[in-house]
Amino acid sequence: MALNKKPWIKDAAFRRCLSVVLITLLGVVLLLFLLQTNTISDLVNQYTNETDDNFELTHRYSQFRRNVTLPKQTDLSILLEKRNQLPPRNLDLFPKLAKNHVTIVLYVHNRPQYLQVVVESLSRVDGIGETLLIVSHDGFFEEMNKIVEDCKDKDDPVKKHCKGSPDQYGNHRSPKIVSLKHHWWWMMNAVWDGLEETCHHSGHILFIEEDHYIFPNAYRNLQILTALKAKKCPRCYAANLAPSDVKSRGEGWESLIAERMGNVGYAFNRTVWRKIHTKAREFCFFDDYNWDITMWATVYPSFGHPVYTLRGPRTSAVHFGKCGLHQGQGERVSCIDKGAVNIKVEEIDKAGNINKKWGVHAYENQAGYQAGFRGWGGWGDTRDRELCLAFANMYYFRGGTSPS
């Protein structure tokens, strides 16, 4: 499947690059499988066995490996690490990125029908050829998870001879579930501090998921919002393409909206990332497997004041997923109605529709997860917390120093 307009795409032809992080924590081998996809032109191609013998490992993760004690990498691990360092595709078509572009990061699981929908929507976005698109892909593989002898549900580690520490509700970790929070945190650290193409990027980066349908005006509206944010809403940390209420299409007012930060199409800059990164311990030790609830309930409140985002009065992105986690992975069990998504895009949503002269309407004391919420659990295992902190440190091990 070819895009109408192709942005820079970090990695090569949707060959799936598996970045295997194998870390020994507390004497137990914990495996996290994170896939960073290459392009989106082919949704079904599998990883190929090309050797790339002449490609040197230069990524800063290699520096991390040299400064901490990790198991020896396998040939496959080395090969795939090299692949994650390949230059972006389409450099011949777009040798230079537009000045002050907003990088787009699409993070996906293993739901190809979802990915096809979001890619097709991106192909219609005005300005998509001006920016860099990064696809970060994680997957859950039962046969690999069996390598780790984890306790399940409310197993007694002594009686079951298994490994693990339970959450606040007495339940042991579920690898399929904890991978969600791990992927998001690993991705944030890799994009902001690891990838050569983005590690010096100081502007905004937009984060979207595989079940976010992006309207044609999304990029143009986002450019306006990020430009207006500092002046129109000094207390806004981010810009959003959609309301925090995922069922809402917006108010339709002639006004900008400041509200609690949503999880559909959100963008922030390096200054905000640095602030988030300093809260790595709060993020990694909060007993909830959801990254967004973790942010709402513990990270944002730790900033000491409300965290707002700026958006337009009409949505520029829609959440279309009908089930969560890693469900809907195959065609027969897809969570898309009849294998398709029917989202009405009105004419007004096909071009930028934000007026720079509008004022800002702020929502105060919105409902939702707040400080004091205990969390839904699922994140009580010491190994998950330690691995989470390791991700926060993996690009900072220079001269023996780290931020956490």
Q: Tokens representing 163?
A: 């490994």
CA dist., res. 77 & res. 64, Å (int): 15
Annotated binding residue at 211?
Answer: yes
pLDDT of 303 above 70: yes
Which CATH number applies to 95-323+347-393? 3.90.550.10
Question: What percentage of the chain carries pLDDT values higher than 90?
Answer: 46
Of 54-58, 132-136, 143-147, which one has max mean pLDDT?
132-136
- The confidence band for 275, taking pLDDT boundaries of 50, 70 and 90, is very high
Q: How far apart are CA 239 and CA 257, in angstroms?
A: 10
Closest to 255 in 3D by CA, of 354, 169, 395: 354
Q: Each residue of 60-108: pLDDT tens digit?
A: 555 555 555 566 777 766 776 777 777 788 877 777 888 889 999 999 8
Q: Is residue 287 marked as binding?
A: no
Give the model's pLDDT for residue 102.
94
pLDDT band, residue 189 (cuts 50/70/90): very high
CA distance 18 to 250: 38
319 is in an annotated binding site: yes
Q: Are 288 and 270 in contact (CB under 8 A)?
A: no
pLDDT digits (tens, 9 = 90+) for 154-175: 888 777 777 888 999 999 988 8
- Domains of the chain, by residue range, sit at 95-323+347-393
Q: How far is CA 20 from CA 33, 59, 73, 213, 338, in A?
A: 5, 15, 9, 29, 35
- In the predicted model, is pLDDT for residue 382 greater than 60? yes
Place of tokens 């197993």: 155
Residue 37 binned pLDDT confidence (cut-offs 50, 70, 90): very low
Pairing of strands 308-311, 236-240: parallel
